[in-house]
Structure 1
Amino acid sequence: MKTNASRPSPLQRPRRWLLLASLSIGAAAADAAPAAPALRSLTVAAASGRQAQSLDGVVEALRQTVVAAQVAGAIVQLDVKAGDRVKAGQVLMRIDARAAEQAANASEAQAQAARASLQLASREFERQQLLHKQHYISQAALDQAEAQYKATQAQVNAQLAQLAVARTQSGFNTVRSPYDGVVAELPVTLGDMAMPGRALVTVYDPSALRVTANVPQSIAAGLAAGSAPMVEIPGLAGGMLAPTRVQQLPIVDASSHTLQLRLDLAPKLTGAVPGMFARVWLPGSVAAAAASPAVPRTAVVRRAELSGLYVLDGQGKPLLRQVRLGAVRGEQVEVLSGLSVGEKIALDPQAAARIR
């Protein structure tokens, strides 16, 4: 006689079927879920040595003078304004010179009195010499007359020197241009008080300009052996400018480890003024020694003042890292710091931001 003990009871069968159905639905749902899209990335490589490296510079004047006051007094005449072209020796302003003129007049009067005394002493000495020849006076009397004459002559010389000083000081009240140039700055107005050492006007020579840039010490040696760099002044017609002379100062700044590079521009360059931004392009052979990596501009993340890139770690997880950007060349931007050659970056920053 057979028994049905191994068969499930009717009450157990629905539970078993429900469990199998749940497992089948879960497996189907897992198979139907779309796979996460692969994050597009780029391996950072060193920039090509053929690309020239650029440095930020500034336009300077070879001759730029700050004319300061040498005497105290109120400014009573102002003949120029900022931007005016002036000639050498042209009067720029006048300082109240009444006190100086009175001092000069007093010195001149004293000099005239000393001259009169000298004439009297000279005649007296001549008479004493005649009397001595006729043996009417002694040698001591003649020596005394000679000493009086020489003392009077010395007083006249002192008065004349004092008169020259007074006239020179009165000339300090007239401020003149030291050379042909342009008035760059005029920090005073009519009626201001001039004091010794106070800056009154700044004049520069527009016919002789140069561009100054700081070159990193690591590429300064290669620059000396390479070809001459080029200068670009944005907004100035003419494109690249070839300097007439390149000078590299033999002093390294201890804080930034850079050397100053001076590039003289062509004489009488139209449109360039001191203080303008300039870009110095170094030769390609020099740039290859210290080329910075370049990345696509679309991969850069900008948040307020922060510029960053999503860098992939060893597990492929993107991490936002702050970088310092340099020059933009088309669709590529130079990364000066914060990124090393061989690292991978995410090309789609929005997709990388969604990965946790």
Structure 2
Amino acid sequence: MLIISRLRFALATLVLPVTCAFAAQGELASVLVQPAASADNASFEGVVESVRQTVIAAQVAGAVVALQVKAGDRVKEGQVLLRIDARSALQGSVASQAQSTAARSALELADKDLQRQKQLFQKQFISLSALERAEAQYKTLSDQLKSQIAQANVADIQSGFFVIKAPYAGVVSELPIALGDMAMPGKPLLTMFDPKGLRASFTVSQAAMNKFQAGQPIKIEFPGLAAGRQWLTATQYQVLPTIDAATHSATLRIDLPEPAQDFAPGLFARVWLPLKGGTGNHFYVPATAIVKRAEMTGLYIIDSQQHVILRQVRLGKSRDGATEILTGISAGERVALDPAAAVRAVR
């Protein structure tokens, strides 16, 4: 509660987030500082991130011969994003297919020869060793055919690596390559994310999490967005079960609602958490009473001897035309409301 006094002036109305009253005591309009009886809130900074974000890298080497998207494009699942030069891979695939065809023909010939050898063995025209050699030749060619088929399948699969397609519907967020660049295995080609799954992630101190009022609505601020889109209210959140040993902080995640056209990974965000068990030592003064001179921020204090003194203070958050004073004043002190009039009264 703030008690405001004004000497030798008519009573006026002052709008503050606390109770105000006036009394005539002197020539300077002043406000009596007392702790505000408001709930404690703490703010923590964070960032918007995508639940599903993918860095697509090359699996084969080759020059980029076709680039069909750019950063910011929305793509569909299975859409072709880019192509890598696959001429050598296609030649290898054709060679593998030819070798498998030749191996299949050799196996068919060996199968016919084996059948003849079996008939001759039954009539006792050849020895058992001759029959066994024919069977061994057939098994060898059969294994060679399986190997050639496997190599041909590998070549076909690898030929698919030269065409990069979207794994899901999303937005291309980064494209670090250009047409003609050389793609190498493991080299990132592009980054995309799913705009339907965005969340805001914050690092919150362990002390604040212990005072957090569970079940209360949480305010999220996005200062970088246009007016009317800067604030969201969330009731569902997730706190990761681990605590960072270096910073003694936890990670708070809040899913963002759909549609989220204005949101993108990396967007700055600030969460305001309602805390319980506040100390109540929150002092607010009208924003018009604050004096800013170069790098100094202060207030004109009126002491018990009616002397006016400029004192440096540190500011907190603002609301409803009043600003929180974190340090520099104490309960019961009187602050001049008109800095210009206070300058003239300084002795």
Show structure 2 runs of 5+ residues with no match.
Answer: 1-26, 302-306
Cα pair 1:309 1:346 within 8 Å, conserved: no
Q: What secondary structure is seen at the aligned counterpart in 1 of 2:145?
A: helix
State the one-letter code of the partner of 1:274: P
Q: Does 1:265 align with 2:239?
A: no
Equivalent residues in 2 for 1:130-279, closer than 5 Å: 130-223=119-212, 225-233=214-222, 234-235=225-226, 237=228, 240-243=231-234, 245-279=236-270
State the one-letter code of the partner of 1:200: L
Counterpart residue number, 1:21: none
Q: Kindly provide the CA deviation profile for residues 63-86 of structure 1, in whole angstroms up to 9, marking residues without a partner as x.
A: 111111122221110111122111
Please identify the structure whose Cα radius of gyration is greater: 1
2:320 to 304, 323, 330: 330
Cα pair 2:110 2:141 within 8 Å, conserved: yes
Cα pair 1:58 1:275 within 8 Å, conserved: yes
Counterpart residue number, 1:14: none
Q: What secondary structure is seen at the aligned counterpart in 2 of 1:251?
A: coil
Write the distance in 2 (CA, Å) between the matches of 1:74 and 1:292. Answer: 66
Cα pair 2:237 2:255 within 8 Å, conserved: yes
1:95 to 75, 84, 90: 84
Equivalent residues in 2 for 1:274-353, closer than 5 Å: 274-283=265-274, 286=275, 288-289=277-278, 293=282, 295-296=284-285, 297=287, 298-299=289-290, 301=292, 303=294, 308-309=297-298, 320=312, 323=314, 327-334=317-324
Cα pair 1:214 1:259 within 8 Å, conserved: yes
TM-score of the aligned structures, taking structure 2 as reference length: 0.74
State the one-letter code of the partner of 1:149: Y
TM-score of the aligned structures, taking structure 1 as reference length: 0.73
Counterpart residue number, 1:82: 71
Q: Does 1:73 align with 2:53?
A: no
Deviates more, 1:274-283 or 1:171-180: 274-283
Equivalent residues in 2 for 1:25-104, closer than 5 Å: 45=35, 48-50=37-39, 52-104=41-93
Deviates more, 1:59-68 or 1:216-225: 216-225
Write the distance in 2 (CA, Å) between the matches of 1:328 and 1:191. Answer: 54
Whose helix fraction is larger, Structure 1's or Structure 2's? 1
Q: Percent identity, aligned pairs only? A: 43
Cα pair 2:52 2:197 within 8 Å, conserved: yes
Write the distance in 2 (CA, Å) between the matches of 1:85 and 1:65. Answer: 14
State the one-letter code of the partner of 1:269: A
Counterpart residue number, 1:127: 116
Cα pair 1:213 1:262 within 8 Å, conserved: yes
Cα pair 1:89 1:176 within 8 Å, conserved: yes
